């Protein structure tokens, strides 16, 4: 007998860990540009799978991929992180697509925490705060961290 709830439990745990990492106290988010193909037949990036392949071709290593078909993937190269996703929650998608919405909106942060079953008390202070840029390409969102700036003496 197989336990059909196990994949959902594993997915929930992965989402919780991801939210915990990205929303560490001190991390900031900026909106990047939005790119759209000329028409539906000319999409630059059609889905998470295609985008992952593109980043792997640039030397990024895939760390994880969630969903079938994939709706989220994390990759890294050196100290740089790339998160590729297609949000399933309409409220999150609307927020991301609203050019006037703050990427650091406290109400949306609270919603993201609540949806992952977390509270501010569950989050550590980032040992090295990161700045993430969120770019949309034909409905695929790419969240990329900046390379750490060189230390000053």
pTM over 0.95: no
Q: What is the pLDDT of residue 38?
A: 59
Closest CA to 112 of 128, 134, 136, 139: 134
Q: What is the pLDDT of residue 40?
A: 55
Q: What is the pLDDT of residues 71-113, one digit of tens each?
A: 999 999 998 999 999 999 999 999 999 989 999 999 999 999 9
């Amino acid at each position: 007998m197989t336990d059909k709830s196990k994949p959902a439990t594993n997915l929930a745990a992965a989402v919780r860990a991801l939210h915990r990492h990205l929303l560490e106290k001190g991390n900031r988010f900026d909106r990047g540009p939005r790119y759209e193909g000329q028409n539906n037949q000319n999409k630059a990036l059609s889905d998470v799978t295609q985008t992952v392949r593109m980043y792997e071709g640039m030397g990024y290593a895939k760390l994880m991929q969630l969903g079938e078909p994939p709706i989220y993937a994390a990759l890294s190269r050196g100290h740089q992180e790339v998160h590729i996703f297609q949000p399933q929650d309409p409220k999150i998608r609307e927020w991301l697509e609203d050019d006037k919405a703050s990427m650091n909106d406290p109400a949306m942060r609270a919603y993201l925490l609540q949806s992952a079953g977390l509270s501010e008390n569950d989050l550590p202070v980032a040992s090295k705060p990161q700045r993430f840029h969120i770019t949309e390409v034909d409905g695929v969102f790419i969240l990329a961290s900046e390379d750490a700036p060189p230390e000053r003496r």
